[in-house]
């Protein structure tokens, strides 16, 4: 069958977007296989992940996201911004604030428009971070404290574990330019302490309101940005007394503004989302 798609990106974290509300695609090919096929940068379209738009019985729309290796993620912050712009510009929904059903619960993105009605950014209410080890899920070697240490083939690694609907291990470093992303990232991702694997963030604190971040994403490897990872990084920074609650996160693909609201406990993430190109590809 011929599949119509849209390629989008948020800070260089890129996705292939498809509309399968009528379930015509899933009747031909499984989403995990489709993700591996479409995300291949040599033989497919290329992308960090596949985002599928589906009907929801509880929200305005349903969101499923598959990493480039075919594994399904519970949530994706950059992908959520792309989804909000995609459904609005495709005329699926005519609201600038929507509710989205995800495996991580209900997420609420809001399109920010200028005076001429053009989308300038997207703010996403990411909900409350999860710090309970069992719910992350994470198996700590000892109880208490926000910093944990595990032994790996690269040596001991200390981090703060956070879930933003998906697991994260946040590692603080003095110099992000020499952070062992390729060495430590993959071994922490698959460490037995994380039963569902984990995303791994390396953080350099610049000031009370700025941090630099690089990321090894679960199921995708090194990416230019990770929205949920940026949220987790700010949570870890606050918990460890390194920053305030409103932080600009500098990623390889650009900047995100993250606020951890003290009153509600919710994380609010603001950043760009952009359509790269649209097309048609034969599948099945």
Neighbours of 187 (CB within 10 A): 17
Collapsing DSSP states into helix, strand and coil, what is residue 26? coil
> Which sign does the torsion angle of CA 170, 173, 177, 180 carry?
negative
Q: How far is CA 115 from the centre of its chain?
A: 29
Q: Which two tokens stand for residue 35?
A: 């993700």
Question: How far is 43 from 56, CA to CA, in rounded Å?
Answer: 32
Q: Which residue is associated with the tokens 């760009």?
A: 272
Q: How far is CA 66 from the centre of its chain?
A: 11
Name the active-site residue from 39, 76, 82, 231.
Answer: 76
Q: Which two tokens stand for residue 265?
A: 């406990």
Q: Do 233 and 85 touch, CB atoms closer than 8 A?
A: no
Q: Cα-flanking dihedrals φ and ψ of residue 195, to 5°?
A: -60, -30
Question: How far is 200 from 187, CA to CA, in rounded Å?
Answer: 10
User: Among this protein's residues, is 76 annotated catalytic?
Assistant: yes
User: Among this protein's residues, is 82 annotated catalytic?
Assistant: no
| Exposure class string for 239-267: b at 16+ Cβ within 10 A, else e | bbebbebebbbbbbbbbbbbbbeeeeeeb
Q: Residue 22, by phi and psi: left (phi above 0), alpha (psi -120 to 50) or beta?
A: alpha
Question: How far is 62 from 57, CA to CA, in rounded Å?
Answer: 9
Q: Do 201 and 258 touch, CB atoms closer than 8 A?
A: no
Positions annotated as catalytic residues are 76, 226
């Amino acid at each position: 069958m011929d599949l119509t798609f849209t390629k989008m990106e948020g800070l260089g974290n890129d996705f292939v977007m498809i509309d399968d509300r009528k379930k015509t695609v899933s009747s031909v090919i499984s989403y995990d296989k489709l993700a591996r096929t479409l995300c291949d940068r040599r033989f497919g379209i290329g992308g960090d992940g596949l985002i599928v738009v589906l009907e929801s019985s509880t929200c305005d729309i349903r969101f499923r996201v598959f990493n480039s290796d075919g594994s399904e993620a519970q949530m994706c912050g950059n992908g959520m911004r792309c989804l909000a712009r995609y459904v609005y510009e495709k005329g699926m929904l005519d609201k600038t604030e929507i509710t989205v059903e995800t495996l991580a619960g209900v997420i609420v993105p809001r399109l920010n428009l200028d005076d001429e009605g053009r989308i300038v950014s997207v703010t996403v209410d990411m909900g409350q971070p999860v710090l309970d080890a069992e719910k992350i899920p994470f198996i700590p070697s000892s109880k208490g404290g926000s910093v944990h240490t595990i032994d790996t083939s690269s040596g001991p690694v200390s981090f703060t574990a956070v879930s933003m609907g998906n697991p994260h291990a946040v590692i603080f470093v003095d110099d992000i330019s020499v952070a062992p992303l390729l060495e430590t990232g993959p071994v922490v991702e698959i460490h037995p302490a994380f039963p569902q694997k984990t995303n791994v963030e390396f953080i350099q604190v610049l000031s009370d309101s700025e941090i630099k971040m690089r990321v090894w994403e679960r199921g995708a490897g090194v990416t230019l940005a990770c929205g949920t990872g940026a949220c987790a990084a700010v949570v870890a920074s606050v918990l460890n007394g390194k920053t305030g609650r409103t932080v600009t996160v500098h990623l390889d693909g650009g900047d995100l503004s993250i606020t951890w609201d003290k009153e509600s406990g919710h994380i609010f993430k603001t950043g760009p989302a952009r359509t790269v190109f649209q097309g048609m590809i034969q599948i099945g």
